[in-house]
Amino acid sequence: MQQLKEPLDVCFRVNSIDKNMDSTQKYLDTYIQEISNDPLLKDKRPQKVPWYPNQLAYSFDNVGRLEMRKAPAFKQFHKFLVEETENGRIFR
């Protein structure tokens, strides 16, 4: 029952049938690299979900939804995820 009290991981996947998939993936890789270069965030970057086809799914194991929305370091990345979700290029 304790697991029910833990926050859910932030997970998303790139829409593999979208004609702009390569562009979305390029921006995503850029954001992940920026997070990786930040010494305070390098352990909080999204990891590819190994079992998902084409390596297009990601999960933040160490970042909850609240931290994603509130932390200044993730502000641009969160904005990108929201915009891409609204345009159907990323599913969360």
| pTM for the whole structure | 0.76
pLDDT, residue 15, reads 86
pLDDT band, residue 4 (cuts 50/70/90): low
Locate the DSSP E strands across the chain. 9-14, 47-48, 57-64, 90-91
Query: Mean pLDDT across the stretch 2-24?
Result: 77
Report the greatest alpha carbon distance in the chain: 43
Greater pLDDT, 38 or 3:
38
Q: Which of 88, 83, 35 is nearest to 63 (CA)?
A: 35
pLDDT tens digits along 22-76: 888 888 888 888 888 888 777 788 888 999 888 889 988 777 777 777 777 778 8
C-alpha 59/C-alpha 49 separation (Å) is: 7
